[in-house]
Structure 1
Amino acid sequence: MADVVVISNTIVRPESYNDESGRVKIHLTPWDLFFLRAEYPQRGLLFPQPDPETNLISQLKSSLSVALKIFYPFAGRLVKVENEDDGTASFYIDCDGSGVKFVHASAKTVSVSDVLGPADSIVPDFLNRFFPANGVKSCEGISESLIAFQLTELKDGVFIGFGYNHMVADGSSFWNFFNTWSEICSTGFDRRNFSPLLLRGWFLDGIDYPIRIPISETEIPNQIVVTSSSLQEKVFLITSRNISVLKSKANGEVDSDDRKISSLQAISAHMWRSIIRNSDLNPEEVIHCKLLMDMRRRLKPPLEKECFGNVVGFATATTTVGEMLNSGLGWAALQINKTVGSQTNEEFREFAENWVKKPKIPNHVAVSNSIIVASSPWFNVYGNDFGWGKPIAVRAGPGNTSDGKLIVYPGIEEGNIEIQTCLSSLVLEKLSSDEEFLKHACVV
């Protein structure tokens, strides 16, 4: 159905880049290197159709060039140094202004309604072709741009897809960049009106850098390709009213004065319990709920919220199917709350100190019987206006997609939350007709 034609594939470089102005070298932490084999996370925004008079591509490229002058690490490349003296390799980001990939494509047979799909429908497969970094892994940032964009013109709208290297930035830093780009494009503001980039500029005392990793750990192993044809995706909406109901219910079931269940913890618990209930697992099977967390304010001293880089940690709650199903929403939310609370400055540092002693790069293959909650409902997604209107919808693209992956966004209406949910088709079908689950959620 979707005949996607690539019109151009170009590189956009930072505005007025001067190679002699001093190139910044960014050393990588254990949390950056943890993502060495991970695919680029990909997201996309669906927009209304711009005025035909709009010089769309020219405006986007020129404003992107200005934005890259501010967020210059994205325009660099990853550098791998092989240390022959001990058979290890080291990596750093060279902010050399090489530029970023920008694809201009057309899919004039596709309408906005096709992308959104009818009510209760799965996310259409053709959407994968609207993204620019399918299958690209972080370690390929040596030759691939560290962030990539694809603008696809539709019959009655446009879709801007993007993928970025998780070693360079996390979701918080990416959306700060995207918000700045859209503002520059819509207002014509010069980059001098924006504050200089605040780099993470932080490394652990007692850990030498660049960190040396056994070369065997830096190579991508040959993996048996497991077909994902049985996986499907749907976007579920939880309204602000239902969020309040879930949060109140979870806190009402928790007998603790010093622990308060947050909205996201209550929602994650509701999703976790509902998915497990519909997965036909044995009671004794071990299950996990993993959450990606922004650690900036948890470090000591804390980092500024706006600092650029990758500063995420994993919080993992673990239990059994039987214990989960025999307990209530509050109990499940409390397990998530406790593991989130355990992600302290000390825990974060201890992981890094132990990791550098024996570096191990995960293959980022999903752990069986897990759900992974990524992204955030607090990112400024729907505030991005390039000059022709705010987004109609947000969608996740290919990239670390796995059974149980939940991508959380703010809803288009303030206070709502949307969750793009990837599950096996059988579990997703059951979940979509689960009356207990649908008391607090609906399909977008």
Structure 2
Amino acid sequence: MAKLSIVNILEECVISPQLASSISSPPPPTSLPLTFLDIPWLFFPPSQPLFFYEFPFANSHFTSKLLPSLKRSLSLALQRFRPLAGTLILPPWPRKPEITCGEADYVSFTVAKSDGDFQLLSSHSCQRDAREFHKLVPKLPLLSREARDKLSLLAIQVTMFPHFGFSIGLAFHHVVADGRTFNKFMRVWSSLCSDMIGGDHNYDLDQCWSCYDRTAIMDSHGLEGIFLKEWWERRSSLPMVGTKEVSTKEDFGEMVRATFVMGLDDMERVKIWIVSTQCNKKSEPQSLHLSPYVLTCAFLWVCLVRSQVKGNEDTIYFGFIAGGLTRVGYPVPTTYFGNCIGFGRAAAARGELMGEDGVLVAARAIGGTVKRLDKAMFRGAEKWVSEWQSLIGSDVHTMVSGSPKLDLYGRDFGWGKPKKIEEIEIDSTKAISLFESRDVKGGMEIGLVLPKAQMDAFTIIFKQGLQDL
């Protein structure tokens, strides 16, 4: 492959939460214990979302006009989401992990410049060297030199591509909050920055306060003790992936990154094919859960399985995240800061997924899992950690990172919506990313990182599969 681009660090600083003098804020929490819905994320590496923005101007204009607004608005946004600037404390047994917040809290903020091809990196239509993206996202700094017992929860890197655009890369540990909460933070930050650039400083911050009440999450199934026991038993063997303690040693030289889009028309064709061709053919009851998400994931799962060269497992799995606000069985404030999600894992026989009815088999498995989560999200939850550990980094099983419901393409910092969004964490976890489509209304963007030979095979199978419906 071609020579990799060079990224030079121009500035490393810290941004602390600040408070606008005209706003009276409630006192921030000093300590947030992890709930049983937070603890499973201790086993996962940080998320690394990367946003590309077009900005066809010189560096001097960016650094003098836009960069100060990014920093000031970030400081104000963090005041509404204080734990993001806090510290994850990982004490030895029997003390429980917690997030602490104090006056000295900050977020690491890096400014860099790249000589890379902005148009190529932000492309929707071609394969790109996966290694090109690694230097565009930060790593979470460890705050303790003696032991891995203190960890930052958020780090940010802004990288300029002179006369073309820039990127905003983040490292975000999911143990502090779910995608819903993170998206709210990004919405507040981008809105504040947009207001500053446009000269309007009247954004209503009073509507952005978070609820930190941990009693909002009730552990009626005794899951906290189960998850903590697994954490204490395994923590010494878990690498702090995504932090500055560990440099990436994996060889991504043969890996390429690509994006595929499923539009509403594509989903409808998949649905019609399942219902009319398969369900009627086999006289099955047409009670399958065939949401756009299920249809997309089912088709994607089959394409991935068929593109694999190796793998003889009889049963393979498809893992995904399910929102919990409507599934936990009791009201949770929509402003709750933390995790309120469940884990779903669908199973199917490889031979059936490879067969002519593969998409039906996949839709039945994924849709059935969604229906079970709707009915009883915590049934079998004591196995969440062990089941999902088998998915991370697997070449055989599949798991989804992200959600098309978050509207991340709506994050306008004052110069338009993102040109492209990537999730860099999937390089290591071997997951797939799902975002809402930027340009296709109701569509979904599928992000993949695969060996080039498999990506070529997947591309043919994906495109041909849609044509054959």
Which bin holds the TM-score, normalised by the shorter protein?
A: 0.7 to 0.9
The alpha carbon displacement at 1:382 in A equals: 1.4
Distance 1:284 1:397 in 2: 28
Letter in 2 for 1:11: V
Decide which of 202, 218, 234 is 1:217's aligned counterpart.
Answer: 234
Unaligned segments of structure 1, at least 5 residues = none
Aligned to 2:245: none
- Mean Cα displacement is larger for which, 252-261 or 7-16? 252-261
- 2:266–2:466 CA contact under 8 A, matched in 1: no
CA deviation vs aligned residue, 1:238-266 (integer Å, no higher than 9, x gap): 22321222233334434334433011111
Letter in 2 for 1:428: M
Aligned to 2:371: 341
RMSD: 3.5
Aligned to 1:78: 88
The alpha carbon displacement at 1:142 in A equals: 5.1
Letter in 2 for 1:78: L
TM-score, length-scaled by structure 1:
0.85
Change (3 A) 1:19 1:265: closer
Aligned to 1:14: 17
- Mean Cα displacement is larger for which, 174-183 or 340-349? 340-349
Aligned to 1:120: 126
Distance 2:97 2:311 in 1: 43
CA deviation vs aligned residue, 1:204-262 (integer Å, no higher than 9, x gap): 14759898547443323479976454443211122232122223333443433443301
Aligned to 2:467: 439
Decide which of 161, 172, 184 is 2:180's aligned counterpart.
Answer: 172
| Equivalent runs, 1:180-219 vs 2, <5 Å | 180-187=188-195, 188-190=201-203, 192-199=205-212, 201-205=216-220, 207=222, 213=229, 215-219=232-236
- 1:291–1:372 CA contact under 8 A, matched in 2: yes
| Equivalent runs, 1:57-68 vs 2, <5 Å | 57-68=67-78
- 1:300–1:345 CA contact under 8 A, matched in 2: no
Aligned to 1:412: 438
Letter in 2 for 1:332: A
CA deviation vs aligned residue, 1:348-404 (integer Å, no higher than 9, x gap): 27625x88xx9999587434511112211111111111112221111111367334x
Letter in 1 for 2:444: I
Decide which of 219, 223, 248 is 2:272's aligned counterpart.
Answer: 248
Decide which of 274, 277, 294 is 2:306's aligned counterpart.
Answer: 277
Distance 1:366 1:332 in 2: 21
- Mean Cα displacement is larger for which, 410-419 or 230-239? 230-239
Structure 2 residue 5 is the aligned partner of structure 1 residue 5? no
Distance 1:288 1:64 in 2: 39
Aligned length: 430
Change (3 A) 1:129 1:194: same
Unaligned segments of structure 2, at least 5 residues = 196-200, 241-247
% same residue: 21
The alpha carbon displacement at 1:415 in A equals: 1.7
- 2:260–2:445 CA contact under 8 A, matched in 1: yes
TM-score, length-scaled by structure 2:
0.81
Aligned to 2:402: 375
- 2:191–2:412 CA contact under 8 A, matched in 1: yes
Distance 2:370 2:390 in 1: 24
Distance 1:48 1:120 in 2: 18
Letter in 2 for 1:172: R
- 2:131–2:252 CA contact under 8 A, matched in 1: no
| Equivalent runs, 1:28-43 vs 2, <5 Å | 28-43=34-49
- SS of equivalent to 2:435: strand
- 1:75–1:95 CA contact under 8 A, matched in 2: yes
- 2:14–2:107 CA contact under 8 A, matched in 1: yes
- Mean Cα displacement is larger for which, 48-57 or 92-101? 48-57
Distance 1:329 1:412 in 2: 26
- 1:34–1:362 CA contact under 8 A, matched in 2: no
Aligned to 1:430: 457
- Between Structure 1 and Structure 2, the one with more helix by share is 2
Change (3 A) 1:425 1:14: same
The alpha carbon displacement at 1:194 in A equals: 2.5
Distance 2:83 2:75 in 1: 13
Change (3 A) 1:64 1:300: same
Aligned to 1:154: 161
Change (3 A) 1:113 1:221: closer
